[in-house]
C-alpha cells in the first residue's frame, strides 16, 4: 500500500469518526454550556432552553432542568422528580444533584444513601447525612451510628459523630483519647456519654455484651483527674436512675465504683433527695475525713444540710406543679410529697394537697388547679377558693373572672366573678375575653397583665463583646397605654417565676442549683434555702443534631 493510499484511508477514518461522534461532541459542548449557565445562576435561560422538548429521566438534561426549576421557585415539582429518580435508582442524576445541591436535599439524603453507590464528598453534606443517622438512633442497634461514622470518614475534626460512635461501640480508650480535642460545646455531652460507656443498664440486658470483660477493663481503668469530677457526677445519675435495685447493685459492687470516693459522694448526694434514704445519705456526705478533698465540698454540704430539695424544675413543669405566686408563695414537689412555702416570710414548708396547677388568671391573683381529679380555683396563697364536683373546662376571661364548661351531660356553662360571686349563664362562644390589643413582638411571651401593665419573658439573641451570639431570656414589664418600658432584667438563668418583690431563677452552684431572687427595686440577689441538682445532658436535649436535620 503506497503512502497516498494510506493517508487517504487515515483521513477517511478520522472523518468518519468525527461524523459518527458529532452528536456526542455536540452534547458534551452543550452540557458544558448549561453547567456554566447554572453556575452563573442563569436559571431562567436554562429553563427556556431545556423546556423546548421532553427529556428522558436518565438524561443529564432532565436533572439540569430540575435544578433550574428548584431555583425558580418550583420546589414541589423538583422534589417529586427527585422522588422518582430515587425510586428508579437513577444514580448518575442523583449523584449530580448531591454534588451541586447537597444541603438542599437534606430530608432526602438518608434515602439517597440507602440507594448505595452515592458519594458525599463535601464536609457540609457529610455532616447532614451523619446527623440524620444520629437522629434516628435510640441506643439499641448501633448500625445508624456506625454508618454516620463511615460517612464522616477520616476527617481530623472531632465532633458529635465521633462521640456517639465510640459510645455505641463501647470504646472507652478512644473516648479518652479524644478528650483534649473536643470543642467546649460538646463537653457536657462527652461527660455523659463517657459515663454511659462505663455504666449503662443496657449492658446487663444485652446478651451479646461481654459484661465480665467490661468489668475487668474497669478494674484497670483510671479517669484523668481533670474530668473525674464531671464523669463521676454523671455516672451517679445514671446508676441512680436504674429502677431495678439488683441491676443497680451489680454496678455498685464493682471496685471501680466502690473505690472512687467522688462517685460515692455524688451517689449519696442523689440518694439524699429521697426521704427514705435522706438521713443515711447526709450522714455519709458529712464525713469530712472521707470527702473534704473534693473541690467545693463545704459549699455543697452547707446547701444540702440547710436546704430543701426541689424536684427538677423541668420535670415539675411537665406536671404543672412548680409555681410561684405574686404574693411570694411557692408550691413544689420533693420526692413523692408536695409542699407549699411562703418565700417572703422564711417559713418552713408545709404539706400541700393539690396535684396540678393548670393556669393563672391574667394578673396571677387566682389559679385553676386539679383538686382530687376535679377542677377548682386557688388564690395567690394557693388556698382553695372554690371546688367543682364534675370535670369541666376553665378559661380565664380576665383577672377575676373565668368561664366554666361542664363535661357531663348537663352541658352547663357560665361565667363567674370571684370578687362579686356573680354567676351568669353564658356559652363559651358568647364570651368576650379580655385581650391585649396592638401589642406585638414579645407580646407572644406574655406572663401576666393587669389594667396598667403587662409582663413578658421573651428569649432574644444578643451579640457579646467577643462577637459571639447568645440566646438569653428577659423579664420585661411594659405600660399597656404606650408600650413604654417600666422594668427590664436580663435573666442569669431560666426564669422560674416572680412575686411582687422578686424575680426568681435557679443559680448554678457547682453540681447544685440554688433558688435565687433578684430584688426588683435594688437589683440585689437573695438566696433561698431550696435547691435542685444540676441538670444532666441527654440525647433529646442535644439541639445540634436536630437543628442539623430539621
Per residue in 408-434, is it b (16+ CB within 10 Å) or e — as a string? Answer: eeeeebebbebeeeeeeebeeeebeee
Compute the mean pLDDT over every residue in the chain, rounded to the nearest whole number. 84
> What's the whole-model pTM score?
0.79
For residue range 322-378, list pLDDT tens digits in order: 899 999 999 998 877 889 999 999 888 999 888 778 888 989 999 988 877 778 899
Instruction: Report the alpha-carbon distance of residue 434 to residue 445 in Å, rounded.
Output: 17
Split at pLDDT 50, 70, 90, the class of 544 is very low
Instruction: Report the alpha-carbon distance of residue 19 to residue 16 in Å, rounded.
Output: 5
Work out the percent of the chain whose per-residue pLDDT is above 70: 88
Give the SS3 label for residue 136: helix
| Segment 41-69 mean pLDDT | 91
Instruction: Report the alpha-carbon distance of residue 456 to residue 329 in Å, rounded.
Output: 20
* Among candidate residues 206, 207, 199, 291, the one with its CA nearest the CA of residue 254: 199
Instruction: Report the alpha-carbon distance of residue 517 to residue 507 in Å, rounded.
Output: 9
Most confident of 21-25, 29-33, 373-377, 486-490: 486-490
For residue range 434-455, list pLDDT tens digits in order: 766 555 444 457 888 888 888 9
Burial tier of 282 (Cβ tally within 10 Å: 0-12, 13-18, 19+): middle
For residue range 461-473, list pLDDT tens digits in order: 888 888 888 899 9
Residue 5 has pLDDT above 70, yes or no: no
For residue range 389-431, list pLDDT tens digits in order: 777 888 899 889 999 888 776 778 899 999 999 999 998 888 8
Amino acid at each position: 500500500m503506497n503512502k497516498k493510499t494510506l493517508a487517504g484511508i487515515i483521513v477517511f477514518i478520522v472523518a468518519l469518526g468525527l461524523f459518527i461522534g458529532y452528536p456526542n461532541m455536540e452534547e458534551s459542548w452543550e452540557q458544558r454550556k448549561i453547567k456554566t449557565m447554572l453556575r452563573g445562576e442563569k436559571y431562567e435561560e436554562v429553563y427556556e432552553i431545556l423546556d423546548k422538548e421532553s427529556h428522558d429521566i436518565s438524561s443529564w438534561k432532565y436533572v439540569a432542568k430540575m435544578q433550574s426549576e428548584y431555583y425558580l421557585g418550583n420546589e414541589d415539582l423538583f422534589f417529586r422528580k427527585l422522588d422518582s429518580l430515587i425510586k428508579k435508582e437513577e444514580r448518575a442524576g442523583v449523584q449530580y444533584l448531591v454534588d451541586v445541591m447537597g444541603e438542599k436535599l437534606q430530608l432526602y439524603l438518608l434515602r439517597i444513601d440507602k440507594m448505595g453507590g452515592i458519594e458525599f464528598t463535601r464536609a457540609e453534606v457529610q455532616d447532614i447525612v451523619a446527623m440524620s443517622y444520629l437522629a434516628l438512633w435510640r441506643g439499641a442497634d448501633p448500625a445508624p451510628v456506625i454508618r454516620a461514622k463511615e460517612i464522616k470518614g477520616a476527617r481530623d475534626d472531632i465532633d458529635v459523630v465521633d462521640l456517639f460512635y465510640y459510645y455505641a461501640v463501647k470504646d472507652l480508650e478512644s473516648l479518652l483519647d479524644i478528650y483534649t480535642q473536643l470543642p467546649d460545646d460538646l463537653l457536657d455531652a462527652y461527660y455523659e456519654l463517657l459515663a454511659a460507656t462505663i455504666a449503662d443498664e443496657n449492658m446487663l440486658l444485652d446478651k451479646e455484651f461481654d459484661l465480665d470483660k467490661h468489668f475487668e477493663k474497669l478494674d484497670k481503668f483510671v479517669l484523668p483527674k481533670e474530668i473525674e469530677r464531671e464523669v463521676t457526677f454523671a455516672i451517679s445519675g445514671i446508676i441512680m436512675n436504674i429502677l431495678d435495685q439488683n441491676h443497680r447493685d451489680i454496678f455498685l459492687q464493682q471496685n471501680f465504683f466502690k473505690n472512687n470516693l467522688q462517685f460515692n459522694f455524688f451517689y449519696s448526694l442523689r440518694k439524699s433527695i429521697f426521704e427514705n434514704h435522706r438521713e443515711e445519705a447526709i450522714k455519709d456526705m458529712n464525713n469530712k475525713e472521707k470527702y473534704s478533698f473534693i473541690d467545693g465540698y463545704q459549699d455543697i454540704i452547707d446547701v444540702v444540710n440547710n436546704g430543701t430539695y426541689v424536684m427538677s424544675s423541668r420535670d415539675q413543669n411537665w406536671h404543672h406543679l412548680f409555681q410561684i405566686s405574686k404574693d411570694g408563695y411557692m408550691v413544689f414537689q420533693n420526692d413523692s410529697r408536695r409542699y407549699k412555702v411562703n418565700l417572703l416570710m422564711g417559713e418552713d414548708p408545709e404539706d400541700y394537697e393539690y396535684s396540678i396547677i393548670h393556669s393563672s388568671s391574667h394578673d396571677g391573683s387566682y389559679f385553676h388547679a386539679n383538686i382530687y381529679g376535679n377542677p377548682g380555683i386557688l388564690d395567690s396563697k394557693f388556698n382553695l377558693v372554690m371546688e367543682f364536683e364534675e370535670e369541666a373546662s376553665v378559661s380565664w376571661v380576665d383577672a377575676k373572672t373565668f368561664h366554666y364548661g361542664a363535661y357531663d351531660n348537663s352541658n352547663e356553662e357560665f361565667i363567674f366573678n370571684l370578687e362579686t360571686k356573680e354567676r351568669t349563664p353564658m356559652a363559651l362562644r358568647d364570651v368576650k375575653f379580655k385581650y391585649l390589643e396592638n401589642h406585638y413582638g414579645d407580646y407572644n411571651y406574655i406572663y401576666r397583665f393587669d389594667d396598667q401593665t403587662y409582663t413578658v419573658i421573651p428569649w432574644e439573641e444578643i451579640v457579646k463583646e467577643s462577637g459571639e451570639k447568645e440566646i438569653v431570656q428577659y423579664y420585661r414589664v411594659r405600660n399597656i397605654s404606650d408600650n413604654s418600658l417600666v422594668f427590664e432584667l436580663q435573666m442569669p438563668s431560666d426564669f422560674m417565676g416572680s412575686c411582687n418583690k422578686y424575680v426568681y431563677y435557679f443559680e448554678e452552684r457547682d453540681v447544685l442549683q440554688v433558688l435565687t431572687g433578684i430584688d426588683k427595686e435594688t437589683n440585689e440577689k437573695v438566696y433561698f434555702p431550696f435547691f435542685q441538682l444540676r441538670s444532666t445532658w441527654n440525647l433529646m436535649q442535644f439541639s445540634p443534631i436536630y437543628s442539623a436535620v430539621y
